Amino acid sequence: MSHCPFCKKKIAMSKAFCSRSCKENYFQLIAIQIPKPFMRRIFVQANEEQRKEEIEKFAKIHDWRLDLLQNKIEEMAIEMKYIEDPYKDR
């Protein structure tokens, strides 16, 4: 048994993804590139409300799904030490 690279469900070895939506989400997540100055601006200079607005505007400009963009931003924010990893102690 293998695992879907996006949702981590168990799948047959002959399949690469469990569904078409997982495949599309996976490749869109890879395509999302967030510049470091944008990250710095939303985490250092903006408050929570402004950050949310900036992220929504950024998603619309690039035609990316908001949930995938938010996941990517959270991953990068943990890497860049803007926020703590909520699963660190587990």
**Spatial CB neighbours of 83, under 8 Å, sequence gap ≥ 6:** 43, 74, 77
The pLDDT tens digits of the residues spanning 35-80 come to 999 999 999 999 999 999 999 999 999 999 999 999 999 999 999 9
What is the pLDDT confidence band of residue 89, given thresholds at 50, 70 and 90? low
pLDDT attached to residue 90: 54
* pLDDT at site 16: 92
- Beta carbons of 12 and 2 less than 8 angstroms apart: yes
Sign of CA dihedral 12, 13, 15, 21: positive
pLDDT at 53: 96
pLDDT at residue 85 is higher than 90: no
Q: Is residue 19's pLDDT more than 70?
A: yes
